[in-house]
């Protein structure tokens, strides 16, 4: 499914509400939003498994989610939350699991796309600084 303005705003709001992602600049946020794709997950299935290598950032779009450490439920999540960001930011393993309590829908961003966005915007920023200094 293609992103609607409503889904783009949901993703943007989730990013801006996340302690780690809200530091991205507006260009990076726009690129991240544009590159996310939708995925459906059935009730009871895991979106993230503790200990796995993290390759994706997720934004909860619809449904109910639970966060688990070992077998203990740490909390619940609903639409509008970004999760899985530590793995794509810092290349670490998943510190908890996220399971679908109901059938859910998430927006997904691949780690390599995230890195490409960061590299591209970093190079653009560097070029702007060099041009400014040349003047």
- CATH code at position 17: 2.60.120.10
**H or E segment and range at residue 114:** helix 111-134
Quickly count: other Cβ atoms within 10 Å of residue 79's Cβ: 16
Domain count, the chain: 1
Give residue 111's pLDDT. 92
Residue 71, domain extent: 5-134
Give residue 3's pLDDT. 80
Averaged pLDDT score across all residues of the chain: 91
Measured between alpha carbons, how far is 83 from 96 in angstroms, rounded to an integer?
A: 10
Measured between alpha carbons, how far is 54 from 46 in angstroms, rounded to an integer?
A: 13
SS3 content of the chain, % helix, strand, coil (to 5): 40, 30, 30
pTM over the 0.75 mark: yes
């Amino acid at each position: 499914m293609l992103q609607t303005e409503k889904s783009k705003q949901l993703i943007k709001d989730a990013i801006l509400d996340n302690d780690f992602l809200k530091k991205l600049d507006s260009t990076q946020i726009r690129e991240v939003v544009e590159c996310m794709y939708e995925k459906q997950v059935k009730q009871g299935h895991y979106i993230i498994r503790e200990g796995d290598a993290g390759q994706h950032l997720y934004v909860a779009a619809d449904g109910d989610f639970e966060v688990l450490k070992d077998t203990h439920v740490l909390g619940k999540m609903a639409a509008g939350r970004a999760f899985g960001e530590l793995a794509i930011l810092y290349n670490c393993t998943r510190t908890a699991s996220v399971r679908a309590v109901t059938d859910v829908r998430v927006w997904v961003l691949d780690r390599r796309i995230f890195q490409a966005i960061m590299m591209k915007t970093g190079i653009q920023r560097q070029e702007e600084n060099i041009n400014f200094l040349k003047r």
